[in-house]
């Protein structure tokens, strides 16, 4: 059975020493109480519930899976009890408004909580994770009555939130969806249609479900401009908040999946179900993106979480498993063989994993700080700048962190060799579970296309230029520091290359309509490695300033590995981007 230890020391290092999170957050309105002590206390308690409650039911939950019987879903043994404990602890409403029963804490802290929950039990974490998105969407777009009726129950964890977009014929292209919303005489709407791939659409852990559904009103424009969003509960609430009659919505089946088997995925049927319009008519997609942008960062967190658990367990195995001798002489001559950690290939896999994970964690915390600033900063220009950084980093974090999550879990499985392929050790579950993160909430190629096709050009390049300004400001403290040259020099080289590649791509896209599509994934990975290197510069600076100690020396060694063994990959990625679309598009369709 795999184990998990919450990486509290590394989280505290990034939050407190690298980014001084508490100083930044307590200066923002509403977050005055988000002190370093409070942050540490929340992380400590989250670590306990993750290690002691969620991790022990992760593997058994995968083996048992969710069961479907006559429209009802039963979650695996222990999940209902764990969810009750989780909800009663206030974890479902950590960042929600205190006006409706939430704790009003920053998204930066929510990220660290989500990473730990995902590491301990990815399937479990999806249930409250989806509700968080529903809470945000209703908070931004709901009426006062809708907020009063639904937010307290969602925040308490008594009710589950979902997002219902995909239809059997309409996946990423939501402009094709056919679900209908017929106005009723009382101001409500009758929602009819079938939605598929609906996570947490039905289960036995909550009393009610609040579905956010995309559908078309009569006479709506074709395509995505004609989509509206509706709130459709499973049970219609009475005026006193109790549950009333059952609505005409239910699960028709559940999916049998590659992974995340303890997280139910439903096909949902809406048969004239009563719903309420959220926001304006025909503006549903924009409203849903309020939820989706939150969930995309959340999914990136899931990629980090699985990589972290895989790394921890592969490292423990490599220290214990003896096989062969070290090339430079026996390390444990009293034993029949040395631990496999002595072998360069094993060390390379583990160091690659760790160097990526720690950079991703730092980038995610930095991004979430910007999310908090974008929400509540008192200065309009500061909110705009922070919002730009959030928008630019969302496709990077969603795509790169999940691509690397899959890559790292596979590499860590390889460390275990044959045992990694056997269910008993739990590594193959991590490989299966993390794979969906590259697909849902917009496939990673869609994220890459969003980056190259929209984010780079948005506001005449303001987002990219703003990031370059942020980087330049952060590097001012490194000027004249020879002790940081081994980090700063390769980073600046990668940054200059990224700038040049970005300009080349913009120019080439004007000549070839396929240029962006051909380059998108390679460009995003190049972008990701470059900003990871930026994070390593910032972490190395603080580690050196700390003046010694095992933790800081290890941090520097892992950073050096990244700079010398991982960052050079931007050179080959640059070449791939500049190879253009011709090698991909020149083969005729008949030749495939």
Residues classed as catalytic: 441
* Gyration radius of the chain over CA positions: 24
Give the span between the Cα atoms of 521 and 296, in whole angstroms.
17
CA-nearest of 6, 71, 64, 209 to 127 is 209
Give the span between the Cα atoms of 152 and 208, in whole angstroms.
13
Residue 552 in 3-state DSSP? helix
CA-nearest of 164, 193, 163, 165 to 178 is 193
Structural contact between residues 285 and 209, judged by C-beta atoms closer than 8 angstroms: no
Structural contact between residues 285 and 227, judged by C-beta atoms closer than 8 angstroms: yes
Beta carbons within 8 Å of 365's beta carbon, 6+ residues apart: 11, 14, 15, 19, 21, 108, 111, 112
Residue 326 phi, psi dihedral angles, 5° rounding? -60, 140
Structural contact between residues 269 and 249, judged by C-beta atoms closer than 8 angstroms: yes
Tokens found for residue 257? 């999946």
Give the span between the Cα atoms of 274 and 181, in whole angstroms.
9
Give the span between the Cα atoms of 27 and 422, in whole angstroms.
50
Give the span between the Cα atoms of 342 and 275, in whole angstroms.
61
Residue 71 in 3-state DSSP? coil
Give the span between the Cα atoms of 499 and 475, in whole angstroms.
16
Give the span between the Cα atoms of 499 and 316, in whole angstroms.
40
């Amino acid at each position: 059975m795999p184990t998990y230890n919450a990486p509290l020391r590394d989280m505290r290092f990034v939050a407190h020493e690298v980014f001084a999170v508490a100083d930044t957050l307590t200066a923002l309105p509403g977050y005055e109480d988000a002190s370093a002590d409070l942050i540490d206390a929340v992380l400590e308690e989250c670590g306990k519930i993750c290690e002691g409650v969620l991790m022990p039911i992760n593997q058994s939950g995968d083996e048992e899976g969710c069961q479907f019987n006559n429209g009802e879903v039963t979650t695996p043994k222990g999940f209902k009890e764990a969810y009750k404990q989780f909800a009663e602890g206030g974890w479902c409403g950590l960042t929600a408004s205190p006006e409706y029963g939430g704790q009003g804490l920053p998204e930066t802290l929510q990220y660290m909580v989500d990473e730990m929950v995902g590491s301990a039990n990815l399937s479990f974490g999806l249930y409250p994770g989806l509700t968080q998105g529903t809470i945000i969407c209703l908070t931004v777009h709901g009426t006062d009555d809708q907020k009063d009726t639904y937010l307290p129950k969602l925040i308490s964890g008594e009710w589950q939130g979902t997002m219902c977009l995909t239809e059997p014929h309409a996946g990423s292209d939501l402009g094709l969806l056919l679900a209908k919303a017929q106005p009723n005489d009382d101001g409500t709407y009758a929602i009819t249609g079938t939605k598929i791939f609906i996570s947490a659409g039905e289960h036995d852990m909550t009393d009610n479900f609040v579905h956010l559904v995309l559908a078309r009103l009569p006479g709506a424009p074709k395509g995505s401009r004609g989509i509206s969003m509706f709130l459709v509960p499973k049970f219609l609430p009475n005026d006193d908040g109790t549950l009333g009659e059952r609505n005409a919505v239910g699960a028709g089946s559940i999916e049998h999946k590659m992974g995340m088997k303890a997280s139910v995925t439903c096909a949902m049927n809406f048969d004239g179900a009563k719903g309420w319009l959220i926001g304006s008519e025909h503006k549903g997609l924009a409203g849903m993106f309020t939820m989706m942008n939150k969930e995309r960062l959340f999914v990136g967190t899931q990629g980090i979480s699985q990589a972290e658990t895989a790394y921890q367990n592969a490292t423990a195995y490599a220290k214990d498993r003896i096989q062969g001798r070290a090339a430079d002489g026996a390390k444990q001559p009293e034993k029949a063989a040395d631990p496999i950690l002595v072998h360069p290939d094993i060390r390379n896999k583990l160091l690659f994993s760790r160097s990526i994970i720690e950079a991703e964690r730092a980038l995610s915390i930095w991004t979430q700080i910007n999310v908090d600033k974008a929400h509540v900063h008192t200065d309009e220009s500061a909110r705009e700048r922070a919002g730009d950084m959030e928008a630019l980093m969302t496709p990077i974090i969603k795509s790169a962190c999940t691509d690397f999550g899959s890559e790292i879990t596979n590499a860590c499985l390889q460390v275990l060799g044959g045992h990694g392929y056997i269910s008993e050790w739990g590594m193959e579950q991590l490989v299966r579970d993390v794979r969906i993160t590259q697909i849902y909430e917009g496939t990673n190629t869609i994220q890459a296309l969003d980056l190259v096709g929209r984010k780079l050009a948005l506001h005449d390049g303001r987002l990219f230029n703003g990031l370059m300004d942020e980087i330049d400001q952060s590097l001012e403290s490194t000027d004249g520091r020879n002790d940081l040259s081994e980090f700063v020099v390769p980073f600046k080289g990668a940054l200059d290359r990224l700038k040049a590649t970005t300009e080349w791509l913009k120019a080439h896209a004007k000549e070839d309509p396929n240029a962006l599509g051909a380059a998108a994934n390679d460009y995003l990975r190049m972008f990701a490695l470059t900003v990871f290197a930026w994070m390593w510069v910032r972490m190395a600076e603080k580690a050196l300033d700390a003046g010694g100690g095992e933790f800081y020396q290890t941090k520097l060694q892992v950073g050096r590995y990244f700079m010398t063994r991982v960052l050079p990959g931007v050179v080959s990625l640059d070449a791939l981007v500049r190879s253009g679309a011709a090698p991909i598009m020149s083969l005729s369709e008949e030749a495939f």
